[in-house]
Structure 1
Amino acid sequence: MKVSDILRVKGSTLYTANPDELLSSAVALMAEKDIGSLVVMFHGDLVGMLTFREVIQLVVKNGGALGSTLVRTAMDDHPLTCTPETELDEVRRMMLERHARYMPVMNQKMLMGVISFYDVAKAVVDSQNFENKMLKAYIRDWPAGDEDKEG
């Protein structure tokens, strides 16, 4: 299974932030849309990721306040990315290695979407459930007497 399979099911709604906007505005958007991340774009290019992890770290550092902090101050400016053709096993490995919960999907320089660890886990569980269903159907429909021909 590839990342493109997840994007096809997930849809293409993307929420972005500008590195020079107030962090408080970005956090308000995340709260309003009930999302855990924003892709930070500047002149059409991916320049970072803002997740609740970066926001919490900055809030703690600032003694509980966002103040007039800009998105660029809090964002991860070297986010982990993948392509639509990346295999899910590779994405899982990458996300686990870097403790990343969100990953922008890039096709060259074009942002195609964002996948979350939840999206990856759901795809794996759905795939395993489908495989189990097929195996159970195969076993149930096993032709009588075929087990003798195997040996």
Structure 2
Amino acid sequence: MTIAAILDKKGRDVVTVASTSSVKEVVTLLADRKIGAVVVLDHGGEIAGILSERDVIANICREDDLLGCTAARIMSSPAVTVSSENQVLPALALMSRRKIRHLPVVDDGELVGIVSIGDLVQYRIDNMAAEAEAMREYIQAV
């Protein structure tokens, strides 16, 4: 079970912002889109980091004008990424170990999607339920 399978099901849209975007712009985008993180891109379009709700909360007390700061100032960097060919369980383990909730998906240097820990857990639950149902059907047929 690969990350590609999850992206095929949920879609490959990724919300990105420029590293020069204000935190206020990013927070507004997070709220409007009902998402937990955005990928931050540098001037050349490369991934500079990721900015999540956790980054905003962690910096509220550290920055006097948090909403006026740039995304680059409070983002988590470098972003931890995976390939679409990565397996789901190692990706879940990576997220757990690093205590992160979002993984940009990068293939050949190109951003092709993003997965959240919720996406991965839901995919695992769905697969486990399908496997259990297949076992029940097999047992009843025997």
Per the shorter chain, which TM-score range?
over 0.9
Quote the Cα distance in structure 2 between the aligned partners of 1:11 and 1:67.
30
Q: Secondary structure at the match of 1:31?
A: helix
Quote the Cα distance in structure 2 between the aligned partners of 1:67 and 1:7.
32
Quote the Cα distance in structure 2 between the aligned partners of 1:17 and 1:107.
20
Q: Secondary structure at the match of 1:44?
A: coil
Quote the Cα distance in structure 2 between the aligned partners of 1:104 and 1:76.
12
Cα deviation, residue 91, structure 1? 0.2
What is the match of residue 17 of structure 2? 17
Normalising by the residue count of structure 1, what TM-score does the alignment of the two structures yield?
0.90
What is the match of residue 57 of structure 1? 58
Aligned residues: 141
What is the match of residue 96 of structure 2? 96
Superposed, 1:10-49 pairs within 5 Å as: 10-42=10-42, 43-49=44-50
Superposed, 1:1-150 pairs within 5 Å as: 1-42=1-42, 43-62=44-63, 65-142=65-142
Quote the Cα distance in structure 2 between the aligned partners of 1:49 and 1:57.
14
Amino acid at match of 1:39: V
| Structure 2 unaligned residues grouped into runs of 5+ | none
* Kept after mapping to 1: 8 A contact 2:60/2:66: yes
Quote the Cα distance in structure 2 between the aligned partners of 1:114 and 1:100.
13
| Structure 1 unaligned residues grouped into runs of 5+ | 143-151
Structure possessing the higher radius of gyration over alpha carbons: 1
Q: Secondary structure at the match of 2:106?
A: strand
Q: Percent identity?
A: 26
Cα deviation, residue 60, structure 1? 2.4
Quote the Cα distance in structure 1 between the aligned partners of 2:45 and 2:25.
20
Amino acid at match of 1:15: V
Deviations 1:100-132 (A, max 9, x none): 100000002100111000000000000000000
Normalising by the residue count of structure 2, what TM-score does the alignment of the two structures yield?
0.95
Cα deviation, residue 68, structure 1? 1.7
Q: Hey, which bits of structure 1, 4+ residues long, moved more than 3 A?
A: none
* Kept after mapping to 1: 8 A contact 2:84/2:106: yes
Quote the Cα distance in structure 2 between the aligned partners of 1:73 and 1:105.
23
Quote the Cα distance in structure 2 between the aligned partners of 1:23 and 1:47.
15
Amino acid at match of 1:28: T
Q: Secondary structure at the match of 1:61?
A: coil
